[in-house]
Chains A and B, each alone.
Chain A
Amino acid sequence: MKSLRIFIALLAALPAFSHAALNVFACEPEWGALARELGGEAVTVYTATTAMQDPHRIEARPSLIAQTRRANLVVCTGAELEIGWLPLLLRESGNADVQPGRPGYFEASRYVALLDKPTIIDRSQGDVHASGNPHIQTDPRNIARVGAALALRLAEVDPGNAAAYQARWKAFATRWDAAIARWQAQAAPLKGMPVVVQHKSFTYLIHWLGLREVATLEPKPGIEPSVGYLAEVAARLKTTPAKAVLRAAYQSPRASEWLAERTDIPAVALPFTVGGAAGADDLFGLFDVTLADLLKVAR
């Protein structure tokens, strides 16, 4: 009888432990960083991937299932970016709170107008994302949009700390506004700068800063370029020159360096997300480094 009472007491104490901090499972580093900004001490953030990993291709590892099981809130990009692994994590976790449609499941791409919506949804077009380009974090204004929604969601999932989340969001938004204004002023010389991208990773960045995307190294999304195709791109760049070949930190340098060697257009690895380069340790650093890298080649 005594052991039963101890068991019940422990059972009663369990939610108290789990409420000590809200467990946030972030699919990508940018959302992990954002959750940390808005949650502060009230949240424990686990980031499932690093900037050196391709978010399209993550293995549904047992460690990720274990973390999904413990999560109170799952924060992911959506728009099919994680389609190869997240559904499996959610299914295998046995965690009802974070299933799609529940407050514990948050898709960042729902709060942003997506670009690059394909007109033909067919695999012959490569790795198409039917709902649009999912790499929304390369535009800081999208971070603000997602942040506003995430602050509300945090409050919904953890009402006890609602005021704290709102206060942190306000403080973050103020700093973020100022930063955006600063970045936009810094980026003035970048307007109209022609660039080549390896994958359609930077559509939102390009859109934000008014860069001009003159070529993509992948013939189709997710399809690696052949040497023949690269040569074609190189030939085209003779007539429409570009200032840089951009790739994300996790991407293989092979294609962009091949092109850089033959065309004298510098290959630039942008951090793409938090942790993608020295200095890009948080969201502010991410854009500081990105702009510094771009400004270097603009001259």
Chain B
Amino acid sequence: MLRPALLAAALAAAFPAYADADLDALRAELNQMKQSYEARIQALETRLQAAETLASQAVKTADQAQAGNATNVAEYAEPQAAPAENAASGSLGSHFNPEISLILQGQYAHLDDIEHRTITGYLPASDANAPRGFSLAESELVLSASIDPYFRGYLNAALDPDGGVGVEEAWFETTALGQGFTVKAGRFLSALGYQNTQHPHAWDFTTNNLMYLAEFGGAYTQNGVQVKWVAPTDLFMEFGAEMGNGDSFPSTNNNSNGWGDYTLFSHFGGDVGVSHSWTAGLAYLYGKASERESGLADLNDVWAQTFFSGSSKNWVADFVWKWAPEGNPTEQNFKFAAEYFWRDELGKLLCADDTIEGGVCTGLDSRYSSSQSGGYLQGVYQFMPHWRAGYRYDRLNDGNTHYGANDAYLPVYHYIPKANTAMLDYSPSEFSRFRLQYTQSQSMIGITENQYFVQYIQSLGAHGAHQF
């Protein structure tokens, strides 16, 4: 008997829902205050007028030309009219409903002619050829708006230069749950790690880091639901979980009614003095893969298709530290970022029969296990307004990979993929950026490639807020 009563009391206290009587009393009180405030403003004006007259009399005696002071008083009487006028202009000043922005990106790349761009020792998400010379990157069209007082929606559509539209993100999230909770559903970039939620136009370098390429084939996208909670503490602490259909490497969409993957993530952050701030996070991703397709060269150096079925367990740790003198990044600032991942995969790998092409794989499905890790470190320094220079070091460990019976057909490398990248960019304004980048890539065994890039990023439309 006691417990329900206690619970009701607790709930009533926790969620202050005022009774009607309280509300009426409050309204009456507010009305009263409004009236007294209007009277107050009038009194203020009369007194000010008196003061103005005094002041202007003083001025008049000093200088005939300065007799226009009465206009100031008239101006002060404006506020009654002003609020109504300004209220119409929209909250947060967003005059676009929905907010629309468009990102245009393109580049010139000087690259070696490599047919299958992979990372040695890592089953690739894709072996897409990087375009050489001039190329247009995906144009991103972003629309977002409040749906109603409870939800907000967001769409990021990538217009492929060869035609077609890819839905990068399409989701809605809650805005009215309160207590630090937000629920998001749809297709969205997973909140694990640091860089994962950034679209390519927000990267500090033209090319993705080796870690994200090896681990996710770019970025980890969720098709599902996310729940997160921010703690009511001075130290920023955020905890969340996601569950989806696993339609993103290293998971696969398994054509089932169940889930395909889940993630657990946490982020922490704070300031150190007025000039320094940091964030750190730890996340876990469990993915189920079913016939996940990859390609790699077999022992005869013939390109073979492989299909992995099993589990993929991933950990991601991230740390970012930023400096800006007096907390004002306009003139100078520095950003350091580092991320690291560990992955264990266990299951079966089928190497499709490629004997017709002269390969050695015979279509054998055998036990596969791998334990891999790697990461990157990067620093970006804005040494003067508009100009930034950056350096990134990528390194993946060779780890442990066993193909079981397929060991007879597939090579096991002991190789550490690495890359050194330097960039210089110039941003005439917040909305445009030009970048030069040089990368010495040793991501593939036996190849040291010098890559040169010139890139532009242009943003049109609504002013997007950028994450930390």
**Interface segment out of the listed A31-39, A107-115, A227-235, A262-270:** A107-115
**Interface segment out of the listed A89-97, A239-247, A285-293:** A89-97
Q: Are B326 and A52 in contact (CB under 8 A)?
A: yes
Q: With contacts A62-B267, A121-B95, A188-B58 known, is A96 near B176, CB below 8 A?
A: yes
| Chain B residues in 8 Å Cβ range of A238 | none
Interface centre among B48, B76, B460, B468 (most CB of A within 10 A): B468
| Chain B residues in 8 Å Cβ range of A82 | 92
Q: How far is the CB of A242 from chain B (nearest CB, A)?
A: 18
Q: With contacts A112-B86, A192-B65 known, is A184 near B463, CB below 8 A?
A: no
Is B450 an interface residue when CB atoms closer than 8 A count as contact?
no
Q: With contacts A61-B468, A155-B33 known, is A111 near B51, CB below 8 A?
A: no
Is B256 an interface residue when CB atoms closer than 8 A count as contact?
no
Is B13 an interface residue when CB atoms closer than 8 A count as contact?
yes
Q: Are B66 and A15 in contact (CB under 8 A)?
A: no
**Interface segment out of the listed B117-125, B269-277, B282-290:** B269-277
Q: Mark B100-112, 1 if CB is under 8 A from A, else 0.
A: 0000000000000
Residue in chain A with minimal CB distance to B232: A70
Q: With contacts A152-B30, A188-B62 known, is A54 near B93, CB below 8 A?
A: no
Q: Are B51 and A181 in contact (CB under 8 A)?
A: yes
Is A41 an interface residue when CB atoms closer than 8 A count as contact?
no
Residue in chain A with minimal CB distance to B385: A224
| Chain A residues in 8 Å Cβ range of B229 | 94
Residue in chain A with minimal CB distance to B176: A96
Q: How far is the CB of B360 from chain A (nearest CB, A)?
A: 52
Which residues in window 28-52 of A have CB below 8 A to B? 49-50, 52
Q: How far is the CB of A221 from chain B (nearest CB, A)?
A: 11
| Chain B residues in 8 Å Cβ range of A114 | 82, 86
Complex Cα–Cα for A209 and B176 (A): 44
Which residues in window 187-214 of A have CB below 8 A to B? 188-189, 191-192, 207-208, 210
Which residues in window 169-202 of B have CB below 8 A to A? 173, 175-182
**Interface segment out of the listed B207-215, B328-336, B365-373, B440-448:** B328-336
| Chain A residues in 8 Å Cβ range of B95 | 121, 130-131
| Chain B residues in 8 Å Cβ range of A127 | 429-430
Q: Mark A144-171, 1 if CB is under 8 A from B, else 0.
A: 1100110110011001001000100010
Is B167 an interface residue when CB atoms closer than 8 A count as contact?
no
Q: How far is the CB of B80 from chain A (nearest CB, A)?
A: 10
Q: How far is the CB of B332 from chain A (nearest CB, A)?
A: 10
Complex Cα–Cα for A252 and B173 (A): 40
Complex Cα–Cα for A1 and B176 (A): 32
Q: Are A181 and B86 in contact (CB under 8 A)?
A: no
Q: With contacts A97-B178, A121-B95, A131-B89 known, is A62 near B83, CB below 8 A?
A: no
Q: Are B463 and A80 in contact (CB under 8 A)?
A: yes
Q: Are A91 and B429 in contact (CB under 8 A)?
A: no
| Chain B residues in 8 Å Cβ range of A93 | 180, 230
Q: Mark B227-242, 1 if CB is under 8 A from A, else 0.
A: 0111111111110000
| Chain A residues in 8 Å Cβ range of B463 | 80, 83-84
Complex Cα–Cα for A144 and B44 (A): 10
Contact of A96 among B66, B178, B279 (CB under 8 A): B178
Residue in chain B with minimal CB distance to A252: B331
Contact of B14 among A14, A87, A97, A129 (CB under 8 A): A14
Which residues in window 67-96 of A have CB below 8 A to B? 67, 69-70, 78-88, 91-96
Complex Cα–Cα for A240 and B267 (A): 56
Q: Are A250 and B10 in contact (CB under 8 A)?
A: no
Q: Are A54 and B55 in contact (CB under 8 A)?
A: no
Complex Cα–Cα for A191 and B66 (A): 7
Interface centre among B10, B92, B327, B463 (most CB of A within 10 A): B92
Is B203 an interface residue when CB atoms closer than 8 A count as contact?
no
Q: How far is the CB of A192 from chain B (nearest CB, A)?
A: 7
Is A185 an interface residue when CB atoms closer than 8 A count as contact?
yes
Q: For chains A and B in complex, what number of residue pairs have CB atoms within 8 angstroms? A: 264
Residue in chain B with minimal CB distance to A222: B429
Is A278 an interface residue when CB atoms closer than 8 A count as contact?
no
Q: Are B465 and A88 in contact (CB under 8 A)?
A: yes
Q: Are B91 and A100 in contact (CB under 8 A)?
A: yes
Is B377 an interface residue when CB atoms closer than 8 A count as contact?
no
Range of interface residues on B (Cβ < 8 Å):
35 or more
Q: Are B467 and A57 in contact (CB under 8 A)?
A: no
| Chain A residues in 8 Å Cβ range of B232 | 69-70
Q: How far is the CB of A24 from chain B (nearest CB, A)?
A: 15
**Interface segment out of the listed B35-43, B156-164, B305-313, B393-401:** B35-43
| Chain A residues in 8 Å Cβ range of B69 | 184, 210
Is A9 an interface residue when CB atoms closer than 8 A count as contact?
yes
Is A11 an interface residue when CB atoms closer than 8 A count as contact?
yes
Q: Are A130 and B93 in contact (CB under 8 A)?
A: yes
Residue in chain B with minimal CB distance to A100: B91
| Chain B residues in 8 Å Cβ range of A216 | none
Complex Cα–Cα for A136 and B26 (A): 31
Q: Are B51 and A180 in contact (CB under 8 A)?
A: yes
| Chain A residues in 8 Å Cβ range of B65 | 192
Residue in chain A with minimal CB distance to B280: A62
Complex Cα–Cα for A93 and B173 (A): 13
Q: With contacts A112-B79, A152-B37 known, is A15 near B59, CB below 8 A?
A: no
Q: Mark B1-26, 1 if CB is under 8 A from A, else 0.
A: 00100110110011010000000001
Is B431 an interface residue when CB atoms closer than 8 A count as contact?
yes
Q: Mark B370-394, 1 if CB is under 8 A from A, else 0.
A: 0000000000000001100000000
Q: Are B235 and A66 in contact (CB under 8 A)?
A: yes
Complex Cα–Cα for A88 and B154 (A): 13
Q: Are B29 and A59 in contact (CB under 8 A)?
A: no
Q: How far is the CB of A132 from chain B (nearest CB, A)?
A: 8
Complex Cα–Cα for A275 and B73 (A): 29
Is A63 an interface residue when CB atoms closer than 8 A count as contact?
yes
Is B268 an interface residue when CB atoms closer than 8 A count as contact?
yes
Which residues in window 308-328 of B have CB below 8 A to A? 322, 324, 326-328
Is A8 an interface residue when CB atoms closer than 8 A count as contact?
yes
Complex Cα–Cα for A145 and B66 (A): 26
Residues of A within 8 A of B (CB): 5, 8-9, 11-12, 14-16, 49-50, 52-54, 57, 59-63, 65-67, 69-70, 78-88, 91-97, 99-101, 105, 107, 109-114, 121, 123, 127, 129-131, 141, 144-145, 148-149, 151-152, 155-156, 159, 162, 166, 170, 173, 177, 180-181, 184-185, 188-189, 191-192, 207-208, 210, 222-224, 250, 252
Report the 4 A-B pairs with minimum CB-CB distance, sorted nearest first.
A62-B269, A80-B93, A181-B51, A96-B178
- 13 A-B pairs with CB atoms under 8 Å apart are A11-B10, A59-B468, A62-B268, A66-B270, A78-B91, A84-B430, A88-B466, A113-B85, A151-B37, A162-B30, A162-B33, A208-B72, A252-B330
Q: A12-B10, A96-B179 are in contact. List 20 more A-B contacts (CB 8 A).
A: A5-B3, A60-B466, A60-B467, A61-B322, A66-B233, A78-B92, A79-B93, A83-B94, A92-B182, A94-B229, A130-B95, A151-B33, A152-B34, A155-B30, A159-B29, A162-B33, A166-B36, A188-B55, A188-B66, A224-B386
